[in-house]
Amino acid sequence: MHSLIELWESVRDFIATGGDVLYIVAIVLFIMWVLIIERFWFINREFPVMRDRIIADWNARADTTSWYAHKIRDAWVSEASTKLSERIGVIKTLVAICPMVGLLGTVTGMIAVFEIMAVQGTGNPRLMAAGISMATIPTMAGMVACLSGVFVTSKLEGKVKSAVHGLADSMPHH
């Protein structure tokens, strides 16, 4: 319990030196990872069940060659693809937003620096240091958050694509 409080204190100190923008980075990062984990769960756990059911349905059909059959297959694949790529767009947006939020922190930090300069002049660099740490820490946090998402997202997209192709390929016209 004590160590948890200490951890929380250190997080709060970090956020205090980095400014409130870090909260936004944290929220964006949290939502992003929740969505990413949910997608992985869906692709790896729920989608196989769904895929097997669709393939079984297809194999159970008598007619697999007519125009109707083509369209039905397309619809099924499209439905699966929609289910698979749900919220991927949101994840990608969140990844793209991270550096922008970091930049926001940079600029607000610089504003703090210049505000202090406007009041105190350049005589005391210690006063400016607070603003500068508010400028650099969110940038770093935003970059890290973005990088943590970039690879996972491209991996996720690849997985979705191959899953859709795999599904389409497992429903041959016979």
The closest alpha carbon to 95, from 144, 32, 51, 141, belongs to 32
Q: How far is the CB of 148 from another protein (least distance, A)?
A: 19
How buried is residue 21: exposed, middle or buried, by Cβ count under 10 Å (0-12/13-18/19+)? buried
- The set of residues, in sequence order, having a beta carbon less than 8 Å from that of 7 and lying 6+ positions away, is none
- When asked if residue 108 is in the footprint of another protein (CB under 8 A), the reply is yes
Q: Among 3, 118, 126, 169, which residue interacts with another protein (rule: CB under 8 A)? A: 118
Helix (H, G, I), strand (E, B) or coil at 16: helix
- When asked if residue 43 is in the footprint of another protein (CB under 8 A), the reply is no
Q: How far is the CB of 40 from another protein (least distance, A)?
A: 18
Binding site for another protein (CB under 8 A): 63, 67-69, 71-76, 78-79, 81-82, 86-87, 89-90, 92-94, 96-97, 100-101, 103-104, 107-108, 110-112, 114-115, 117-119, 121-122
